[in-house]
Amino acid sequence: MVRLLERADVLYLDMPLLAINCGQKIDINGIKYTGASHNWFAILDRPGESALAFFFNHIHQALDFLGPKYRTIHMTGRSGGGWATTVYAAVDWRITRSVSVAGSLPIEFRTPDLDGIDDIGDWEQYGPHVLRLLSYEALYEAAGGVAEPRRHIQIYNEFDNCCFSGVKGLAAADAYSASKAEYMQGRVKFLVNRGEWSHVIPVEMVIEQLFGP
């Protein structure tokens, strides 16, 4: 965070029910639920009324308030924050560069066959109705945009002890490169933080992708 603050103003947001948002209460059929599991959002998710609003409305409102003060807005996050970065950058074109760290993979690469880890993830990763209509590849492309200067970057820790290892990231990168036009490959990148076993944010890599050429 300190290194990022040297380059930009930073708005830090947590996911619903986690970290600073612990203790939040969600009304589910008249019952106030409080806890840390995102699986309960499945009850509220339906076509036309996506429960993903709980994950993204506060981001949208924050950018509505702060966005006009800035010429450029970037977004990054790790794990659940990396997932939020991928999805939100796909739908809000105010985000110029988006860097997701250990945040998502196309569903077909989440099998434990590649690294022994089941990476299906929390409900929001696979369960929302809208994700039955949109693939993760489509989200990456939307986040990468079709015009300068938008970019989307997926970073994976090579031997991540939590989720979305570099082994799977490279497999997804190979499949993506084989199927996409060259111009789109330049806007969507898959990178691996080599030799890292932890579920960390490789700060220098993130800064390079956010602020580099």
Domain ranges of the chain: 46-211
C-alpha span between 34 and 21 (Å, rounded): 10
Question: What pLDDT shows up at residue 181?
Answer: 66
- Ranges of the chain with pLDDT below 70: 1-2, 181-185
Question: What pLDDT shows up at residue 13?
Answer: 95
Question: What pLDDT shows up at residue 10?
Answer: 93
Question: What pLDDT shows up at residue 3?
Answer: 76
Question: What pLDDT shows up at residue 115?
Answer: 92
Q: Which two tokens stand for residue 166?
A: 């570099």
The CATH number assigned to the domain with range 46-211 reads 3.40.50
C-alpha span between 88 and 85 (Å, rounded): 5
Contact in structure between 105 and 136 (CB atoms under 8 Å): yes
